[in-house]
Amino acid sequence: MSDAPGLGGIQPVYLVIDASGSTALDNWIGRVNALLPALVEQLELADDRVTHEVRLSMLTFGTSAVVHMPLSATSAIEFIPAIQSGGFTSLSSAFHALAATIAEDASSLTADGYNVVPATACFVLQGLPTDPPDHLIEALAELEARIERGSLHAVCCAGTDPVALRGLGFTSPIYVGDTIDLSMLGASIARELVAAPRP
Amino acid sequence: MDDRVAALTAVIRYDSTLVDDPARLGRALCDVAPFDDSLRHASTLGASIGIPALIAGGRLDDAVARLRIRGGQRLDVALWTTRLWCEALSVELPFEFGATMPPDFDRLLPASPGTVERPPRDEPDSRTGRLPASATFVRACRLGDDVVVAVGTHAGLFAATCPASYAQPSEWVNVAAPSSPLSRDLVLLSESSTIVTAVWSSEKGVEQCVVRVAETGIGGAGPSVGDPSRLLQVVGAEPRYPLTASLTDERGIVDLTWTADRRELRRTTVDRRGSTSEPVVLPAACAKGERLIGLASTPASPATTWLVALTDRARVLLASWDKSVDQYSTWISAAAPVSNVVAVALTDVAGVGPVLFAATADRRLLCLELAPKLSEAWPWRSFGLPAGIPPGAQCTSLAVFPNEAENILLLVCAGVVWRVPVWVNSERASCGKASLFDQGAPQ
């Protein structure tokens, strides 16, 4: 955070990755680990096309959620720690953690004199959550106070119920089949996350 | 077995309500033991047919029988599944467990709509007015200071009355006994402060009768049911469930929205002289292979009506009907945040407007305020889980009626009707403790 305040501001981008026990199935977590470098590369390319600076943070969740990688300039990311699977699929924990992280990051960036562009987030999901519905509703309401409607994206396993995903606040999920071109998938996600320059 | 018991135990300790939600239970087991398909299949099958509740009640032989009959498991697998659930729920296994099978398997046969024919007509127990069978659906309608409650059972359709603030119904009275009663539906229409009309689907078409509150011989009150008459005759098809009806104006015109195949919805308008309009086919609501399980309607304005359809894929669909030009909007899915909605009901909440109430199989209650125009935003709110209903009692039906500052939800859980007060306003949605409504219904 030692850069001078940018002309076009900072766009925080959050990647929230399901690391629950079920991601061991079909080596989903291995494929996600393989996807991450391609995604960061595509975000870096996208960063060159927009006037604001894109910064990426990564959270993982199982029974609870943690910040796996703090908000960083995409060009400064040299090493992405591998994600291990385990725990239940508590999406409400991820919603709570993301809401808190967005608030903290925005506060820090603003205090440093940056103009903060509204955040976007992409959830990489292996399946639907294990939380009770009322926990999810409460957590989603907390998150929606921190992120604009339509800014929650999802990449998920083929066959995940699209209606349930919409109910969870995700728009236009990207479905991943058995075979994926990581570079193309990374580009698709980057396009969703880094839209046209915002004022 | 030990690893599997440990996995199921861990899941139950993580969230005990998972035993009521087989889909979520399956996902949780997939997290704990991702490569154990047998554990997942046996556990979710058990949860979906109520095995945890039977085991918690000590009915182990019934659990084995149900796994065999409703779950299609071989005896050895059924014993294994029962033992798994017993150990996970810390229920002690008797020494002789599994040595003999219960003799009355017929009692445990599944009741699936459309497949069960009417048994010999049962009347309520004349000494107690109790329902002769478990309820499958419930409907309710205010009648002055009282409420008329109707339930469907495999023995027919029954009604009771009750002061709106009370949870103790009058004696149940048989309204009708259509053939295949589990495939029929009933709607209660408020005609005035003294008359409710019951409208139901049957093998004869759509029938109706008047229900009033009358004094009983012992100083109490109960339903007085008029003679049935045919409201609509359908040639070549039988109206099934779901069914909804509304009174369009003071002239007593009834709009019936009905289905013969649980896929295609038709509307027929019937006036008081018995003249019927040509059926209007509504826009298609179901996807390929999908069936309707619920239907409700409520006025949105003098000229428009909300229609809500629920499908067997737990999709909650909304459409509006503009009566002034007789035009229906296309159905829009009100993306519910849960995937196990089993019942919906509509009512106009004072100070709020039309509100859609929904119940999940695991008894969670949700609501959605219906904005004047359909949009992509669905601000669902959760009431949570009403206290008082036993775990494992799966919800199958929901009705709602207003009572002063609150609304009352009636839920059918495991064949028994429960009464739950709820409060909805612009700031909060909350529910009170559930109380047993039909004290006489056998478990």
* CA distances from residue A179 to A30, B71, B346 in whole angstroms, order as listed: 13, 35, 45
Residue B291 has pLDDT above 70, yes or no: yes
The CA distance from B368 to the nearest CA of chain A, in Å, is 12
Is A132–B337 a contact, with Cβ atoms under 8 angstroms apart? no
Nearest alpha-carbon partner for B261 in B229, B296, B236, B232: B236
Q: Is the dihedral of CA B85, B88, B92, B96 positive or negative?
A: positive
Predicted confidence (pLDDT) at residue B131 exceeds the cutoff of 70:
no
- B21-47 pLDDT per residue, tens: 999 999 999 999 988 888 888 899 899
Only one residue has tokens 């999901």, namely A125
CB of B355 closer than 8 Å to CB of B369: yes
How far B29 CA sits from the closest chain A CA (Å)? 8
3-state secondary structure of B81: helix
pTM of the model: 0.55
Q: What are the C-alpha distances in Å from A109 to residues A75, A113, B76?
A: 18, 7, 63
Tens digits of pLDDT across chain A (199 residues): 444 444 458 889 999 999 999 999 888 888 888 888 888 888 888 777 676 788 999 999 999 999 999 999 888 888 888 898 999 999 999 999 999 999 999 998 888 888 888 898 999 998 899 999 889 999 999 999 998 877 888 888 887 888 888 888 887 788 877 555 666 777 777 777 776 444 3
With 70 as the cut, is the pLDDT of residue B94 above it?
no
B23 interaction partners in chain A (CB closer than 8 Å): 128
Q: A132, B381: Cβ pair inside 8 Å?
A: no
pLDDT of B143 over the 80 cut: yes
Handedness of CA B432, B433, B439, B442 (dihedral sign): positive
Q: CA of A133: which chain B residue's CA is closest?
A: B338
**Position B373: which residue type?**
K
Helices (H) then strands (E): counts for chain A? 5, 6
Q: Which residues of B touch A21 (CB under 8 A)?
A: 30-34
Would the CA dihedral through B154, B242, B415, B76 be positive or negative? positive
Indicate whether B112 pLDDT > 60.
no
According to the model, what pLDDT value does residue B57 have? 81
Which tokens is A60 given? 């993982």
The residue count of chain A comes to: 199
Distances (CA, A) of A84 to A61, A98, A123: 10, 19, 16
Token representation of residue B279: 């059926």
A112-126, B216-230, B253-267: the lowest-pLDDT one: B216-230
Out of B31, B366, B385, name the one closest to residue A20 (CB): B31
- Taking CB atoms and an 8 Å cutoff, what residues of chain A touch B290? none
Torsion angle (degrees, nearest 10) of CA B83, B85, B89, B90: 10
Q: Tell me which chain A residues have a C-beta less than 8 angstroms from the C-beta of B381.
A: 137
Mean pLDDT value across chain B: 83
Examine residue B299 and say whether the peptide bond preceding it is cis (omega within 30 degrees of 0). Answer: no
Would you list which residues of chain B are within 8 Å, Cβ to Cβ, of chain A?
14-15, 17-18, 23-24, 27-28, 30-35, 315, 333, 335-339, 360, 364, 366, 377-378, 380-382, 384-385
Q: Which residues of B touch A93 (CB under 8 A)?
A: none
Q: Decide if pLDDT at B327 tops 50.
A: yes
Cα first-last separation, chain B: 33
Under a CB-based contact definition with an 8 Å cutoff, are residues B177 and B166 in contact? no
Neighbouring-strand partners of residue A175: A156
pLDDT of residue B438: 63
**Are A133 and B382 inside 8 Å of each other by CB?**
yes
The enclosing H or E element of B397 equals strand B395-403
Helix, strand, or coil (residue B101): coil
Instruction: Please tell me the distance from the alpha carbon of residue B195 to that of residue B209, in angstroms, as a whole number.
Output: 10
> pLDDT tens for residues B384-422?
889 888 777 788 899 999 998 899 999 988 778 889 999
Contact B337 A168 (CB under 8 A): yes
Q: Where are the alpha helices (DSSP H) in B233-345?
A: none
What does the pLDDT read at residue A43?
A: 84
- Closest in B27, B35, B338 to A127, CB measured: B27
Distance, CA of A182 to CA of A167 (rounded, Å)? 28
- Judged by CB atoms closer than 8 Å, whether chains meet at B364 and A24 is answered as no
Q: What residue ranges in chain A does DSSP mark as E strands?
A: 10-18, 53-61, 65-73, 120-125, 152-157, 171-176
**Cβ neighbours for A151, distance < 8 A, ≥ 6 positions apart:** A118, A119, A120, A121
Instruction: Please give the angle made by the CA atoms of B288, B292 and B294, to the nearest 5 degrees.
Output: 160
Tokens standing for residue B183 = 């495939």
ipTM: 0.85
Calculate how close chain A gets to B257, using CA atoms only, in Å: 26
Q: Do residue B338 and residue A87 have CB atoms under 8 angstroms apart? A: no
Q: Look at B168-172, B259-263, B305-309 and tell me which has the smallest mean pLDDT.
A: B168-172
Q: Identify whether the C-beta of residue B198 lies closer than 8 Å to the C-beta of residue B188.
A: yes
- Alpha helix positions (H), A145-178: 162-167
CB within 8 Å of B28: residues ≥ 6 apart: A88, A89, A130, B11, B14, B15, B18
Q: What is residue B307's predicted lDDT score, i.e. its pLDDT?
A: 94
Query: Mutate which of A134, A136, A142 to disrupt the B interface (most B C-beta within 10 Å)?
Result: A134
Cross-chain CB nearest to A132 (options B17, B31, B35) = B17
For residue B195, give how far its alpha carbon lies from the nearest alpha carbon of chain A (Å): 39
CB neighbour list of residue A182: distance below 8 Å, 6 or more residues apart: A34, A35, A38
Does the structure show a pLDDT above 60 at B119? no
pLDDT at position B389 is 82
Task: Judge: A163–B335 Cβ closer than 8 Å, yes or no.
Answer: yes
* DSSP per-residue codes, B337-385: S-S-EEEEEEEEETTTEEEEEEEETT--EEEEE--SS--S----EEEE-
Mutation target to probe the A interface, by most A beta carbons within 10 A, among B13, B31, B382 is B31
List CB contacts (< 8 A) between A140 and chain B.
337
Contacts of A128 in chain B (CB under 8 A): 23, 27, 339
| Buried b or exposed e, range A120-139, using 16+ CB within 10 angstroms | bbbbbbbbbbbbbbbbbbbb
Nearest to B337 among A24, A133, A149 (CB): A133
Q: Which residue has the higher pLDDT, B62 or B27?
A: B27
Q: Can you spell out the DSSP letters for B412-428?
A: EETTEEEEEEEEE-SS-
- What local confidence, expressed as pLDDT, does residue B365 receive? 94
CB pairs under 8 A between A and B: 80
Cα–Cα dist B239/B245, whole Å: 13
- B332-391: pLDDT as tens digits: 888 777 778 999 999 988 888 889 999 998 889 999 988 776 666 778 888 988 988 877
Contacts of A22 in chain B (CB under 8 A): 27, 30-31, 34
Does A25 contact B30 at a Cβ distance shorter than 8 Å? yes
Long-range contacts of B116-122 (CB under 8 A, 24+ apart): B116/B154, B116/B180, B116/B181, B116/B182, B117/B179, B117/B180, B118/B154, B118/B155, B118/B156, B118/B177, B118/B178, B118/B179, B118/B180, B118/B181, B119/B154, B119/B155, B121/B155, B121/B156, B121/B174, B121/B177, B122/B155, B122/B156
Dihedrals φ, ψ of B4, to 5°?
-70, -40
How do residues B158-194 score in pLDDT, each as one tens digit? 999 988 888 788 888 889 989 888 889 999 998 888 8
Give the closest residue to A173 by CA, choosing from A128, A118, A134, A139: A128
The helix/strand/coil state of A164 is helix
